[in-house]
Structure 1
Amino acid sequence: MSRVLVIVDIQRDYFPDGAHPLVGADEAAERAAELLAHQRELGLPVIHVRHESREAGASMLVPGTAGGEIDGRLAPRDGEHVVTKTHPNSFLDTPLRALLDEVAASELLVVGMMSSMCVDATVRAASDFGYRVTVAADACAAPDLDFDGVRVDGARVHAAFMAALGSAYARVVPSRELIG
């Protein structure tokens, strides 16, 4: 049984020069890269997840565009699986669960983008499947959102989703607690 690092959608469109920049994306990618290096040093499995928008007229995460590429700081190495998804939940219509079964995963360490969408959906599904889940809160990022005429800052969006996940679905900690 092992801990698997699942890196969700850390793709170029979420950075300041991308189609849908998130609040704190660069900082989150740096923390995720540190966790990736640590995971590799320990010889533990890593699975990269990337989202592809396949709808006509999609403006972000379009296959074959620079924005759809995984950020270079988290580039997959030979032997690391890359799962391509088209839904927020990284398990839905992908081989992710089968890959986790192959390595007898018991614990998932999740990092990625967006806290309020794909990270949230993936963590909740992983918990429902019975995995112990840890989220490195500072290795995730969220967008500013609008709801019913109210603007919600991305930092608050992120905090709300981390609080919700931490209340029932995952252990939510800063990356420094995981590196030691």
Structure 2
Amino acid sequence: MTDARLATEAPPWASIIPPHELALYAHAGFGNSSAPPKRPALLVVDVQYRSVGRVRAPIEESIKQYPTSCGEFGWRAIPHIARLIQAFRAKGLPVIYPHVAPKKAHDGQRFAEKVPAIMGIPLDGYEFVEECAPQEGDILLPKHHASAFFGTPLASYLTTLRVDGLVMAGTTTSGCIRASVIDGSSFGYPIMVPYDAVFDRSQTSHAVNLFDMNSKYADVMKTDDVLALI
């Protein structure tokens, strides 16, 4: 982001992407900002205990309980996600929870071949993290694939709610967030991704995917800046 309205703090990819590549993208005209939406919806993606663990712990410990956990990287994002939820509810803006549905034998076959551990997550891992849990009036959207749009009625909800943009929070940056951002962009929605309110098990993958999304599909910024724009 180069928008003068926003903070100048270096984004997560600043120390990952080589300067000559950053310059190349800028010279080619990638990464321009979109006008902020007037009626955005907040998508809280997969903020379940299977994604962070039951207690704040290093990822090496957390994956012993849930192999899909991002450990402390997820817990760092939880307060920012909670702030976004509170702000959207206060403004009467839609809060939607695309979330991982419990896996069955016929679900996610291709992904399960790559990551067999997803089929053995205990049912309590699918519960929402208390600090970010849905309330009455929020929309719950179980999904069986990475994108919040694929095989779900999300697009219909957004039309009915007269939504003109999206804010994506949750996990993982390189998986379900990225897939949902690309599909949302394909539907024509301007999208904001608060980089401190999304998380991943790999910090390198987190940073690189944020850079790529900011270059092509979304406006990536801090939670504070998202809140200022809405």
TM-score norm. by structure 1 comes to 0.87
Match of 2:190 among 111, 127, 132: 132
TM-score norm. by structure 2 comes to 0.69
Kept in 2: contact 1:108–1:131 (CA 8 A): yes
Q: Does structure 1 residue 27 correspond to structure 2 residue 111? A: no
Q: Secondary structure at the match of 2:125?
A: helix
Describe the superposition over 1:26-48 as per-residue Cα deviations: whole angstroms up to 9, x where unpaired: 01111101111111111111101
Distance 2:119 2:227 in 1: 30
Q: CA deviation at 1:21?
A: 2.0
Aligned to 1:75: 133
Aligned partner letter, 2:137: G
Aligned to 1:54: 103
**Which stretch shifts more, 15-24 or 159-168?**
15-24
Count of matched residue pairs: 170
Structure 1: gaps (5+ residues): 144-153
Aligned to 2:92: 43
Aligned partner letter, 1:33: A
Distance 2:131 2:119 in 1: 17
Q: Whose strand proportion is higher, 1 or 2?
A: 1
Describe the superposition over 1:3-38 as per-residue Cα deviations: whole angstroms up to 9, x where unpaired: 100111111011144412215100111110111111
Kept in 1: contact 2:169–2:177 (CA 8 A): yes
Distance 2:183 2:165 in 1: 13
Q: Does structure 1 residue 161 correspond to structure 2 residue 214? A: no
**Which stretch shifts more, 56-65 or 17-26?**
56-65
Q: CA deviation at 1:53?
A: 4.5
Structure 2: gaps (5+ residues): 1-37, 54-61, 106-111
Distance 1:120 1:61 in 2: 22
Q: CA deviation at 1:114?
A: 0.5
Distance 1:76 1:172 in 2: 24
Q: Does structure 1 residue 105 correspond to structure 2 residue 154? A: no
Kept in 2: contact 1:7–1:48 (CA 8 A): yes
Aligned partner letter, 2:207: A
Percent identical: 26
Aligned to 1:151: none
Match of 2:49 among 3, 12, 17: 12
Structure 1's consecutive aligned runs of 4 or more residues displaced over 3 angstroms after TM superposition are 55-64
Q: Whose helix proportion is higher, 1 or 2?
A: 2
**Which stretch shifts more, 54-63 or 167-176?**
54-63
Q: Secondary structure at the match of 1:112?
A: strand
